[in-house]
Chain A
């Protein structure tokens, strides 16, 4: 089944296009449970004239073409209260299974601190696979999570930006 050659993948006379997608969330997402929480998405960039080669549904990014993918996520982290340094972790989950070695941690000290933690990974994904970004925090008392910011006279800062690019 693994038709990796581009010539072979020219199915039905159509040119094979590598998949790509950029997803964002314009909503602030605070962690309210100590269990891992899936990050929700609410927008997909219409890059390339409205071509969507990757889908999304709430927090699920759905792959439509099998291949090797580069995933880059930049969550905007912050908290509401407290001056104690607290950690917040983010990692990848594919088909409801946590991806090993994809976890990153950011420590936030006070509510004024805004951090973008970069998470990147290369994964082989199949058609129909679902990809999620999952987060967990040290405490639920301080309103930790992803923050969307709307500065005056500037575009909105999304709470997370995820870029998914098919490599082969």
Chain B
């Protein structure tokens, strides 16, 4: 014969069932509202009734009535406290997960922006080098096939320019996606650099040579930004402002002659 062993379900488990919770609330409300009054009107008071007597001849005394009310109140308070705590725990978990997501987005944005600006710097250098190559072909004689060399370098130049444009587009996309987690100062600085670089394009001079206008300034602006992005800390989730030594040398220093370098 199979003996079924019945185990009592812990109160905690009962509390997790919404139906039970609702039933307890209704029962508490009904009993708290009607029961004491019904009891108090159950029988007439006898003169011998004590304060805590309760039987056929003794009605519920005001003191006992108060105590019953207090007990009901305490039970309801405990119950509501439990409910609010449970909700608070859930809210805390939601907030925590959102905060973790926000931090991950910020980490990603900072790292990716830094990588993209490194790529920008690299692409600018490559473009500058292509320009130097192109300029070497200006003035060559026909025997040296300058047209062919120019067309090849020009296509490289256009490719590099297009790449720079794509990189800037990616930077703007990241800004759009992460502008709620990034510091507004950082967003405005990145936007400033994007605006500046977006307006720069390789120009042909009157003598037929190509020029990357304001290359030094572009390079310096990107370097400043990379400096800032490198100060990002995963612990504090913030960037650190950098101030140059005012007695230091200017970052807008003239570069070594790239044409000479290319020739070599």
Within 8 Å CB of B241, what residues of A? 1-3, 9, 11, 66, 127
Indicate the member of A58, A64, A126, A130 with the most B CB atoms within 10 Å.
A126
Q: Is the CB of B192 within 8 A of A1?
A: no
Which residues on the A side are within 8 Å of B220 (C-beta)? 62, 128
Minimum distance in angstroms from A2 CB to a CB of chain B = 5
Q: How far is the CB of B128 from chain A (nearest CB, A)?
A: 16
Give the one of B221, B241, B244 with max A CB within 10 A: B241
Interfacial chain A residues near B214, Cβ < 8 Å: 57-58, 60
Q: How many residues does chain B have at the interface if contact means C-beta atoms less than 8 Å apart?
A: 33
Cβ-closest chain B residue relative to A60: B217
When chains A and B are docked, how far (Å) is the Cα of A14 from the Cα of B245? 8
* A55: B residues at CB distance < 8 A: 250-252
Q: Does A52 contact B (CB under 8 A)?
A: yes
Identify the interface centre among A3, A50, A127: most chain B CB within 10 Å of its CB.
A127
A53 within 8 A of B: yes
Tell me the bound Cα distance from A99 to B97 in angstroms: 41
User: Which B206-222 residues have C-beta < 8 A from chain A?
Assistant: 214, 216-217, 220-221
Alpha-carbon separation in the docked complex, A64 to B216 (Å): 15
Q: Report the nearest B residue to A3, measured CB to CB.
A: B241
Interface flags for A39-61 (1: CB within 8 Å of B; 0: not) read 00000000000111101111010
Assess A9 versus B224: contact at CB under 8 Å? Given A2-B185, A55-B252, A96-B196.
Answer: no
When A55-B250, A55-B252 are in contact, do A1 and B195 touch as well, CB less than 8 Å?
A: no
Contact with A along B150-181 (1 / 0, CB 8 A): 00000000000000000000000000000000
A11–B224 alpha-carbon span in the complex (Å): 16
B242 within 8 A of A: yes
For B185, what are the chain A residues with a Cβ–Cβ distance below 8 Å? 1-2, 66, 126
A17–B246 CB distance below 8 A: yes
A60 to B183, CA, bound (A): 26
Contacting residues of chain A (33-88) with chain B, CB-CB under 8 angstroms:
50-53, 55-58, 60, 62, 64-66
Let me know if B240 is at the binding interface, CB within 8 A: yes
- A11 to B247 CA separation, bound complex (whole angstroms): 15
Q: Is B76 an interface residue (CB 8 A)?
A: no
Interface pair A129/B243, CB less than 8 Å apart: no
CB < 8 Å neighbour of A94 from B186, B192, B200, B242: B192
Least Cβ–Cβ distance between B213 and chain A, in angstroms: 10
B116 close to chain A: CB less than 8 A: no
Bound Cα distance from A50 to B241, whole angstroms: 24
Residue on B nearest A97 in the bound complex, by CB: B195
Tell whether A139 is near chain B: CB-to-CB under 8 Å. no
A128 touches B242 (CB 8 A): no
Bound: A95/B221 CA distance, A: 10
Give A48 Cβ to nearest chain B Cβ, in Å.
8
Q: Which residues of B are in contact with A by a Cβ distance under 8 Å?
A: 183, 185-186, 188-189, 192-193, 195-196, 198-200, 214, 216-217, 220-221, 224-225, 228, 238-247, 250-252
Ordered by A's residue number, 13 sampled pairs between the chains whose C-beta atoms are within 8 Å are A1-B183, A1-B185, A2-B185, A3-B241, A9-B241, A11-B241, A53-B246, A66-B185, A96-B198, A127-B224, A128-B224, A129-B192, A129-B221
- The 8 lowest CB-CB distance pairs between A and B, nearest first, are A128-B224, A96-B199, A1-B239, A95-B192, A95-B196, A126-B189, A128-B221, A57-B252
15 extra interchain contacts, Cβ-Cβ under 8 A, other than A55-B252, A57-B217, A94-B192?
Answer: A1-B228, A1-B238, A1-B240, A2-B183, A17-B246, A50-B247, A52-B246, A57-B216, A58-B214, A64-B244, A64-B251, A95-B192, A95-B195, A96-B198, A129-B192
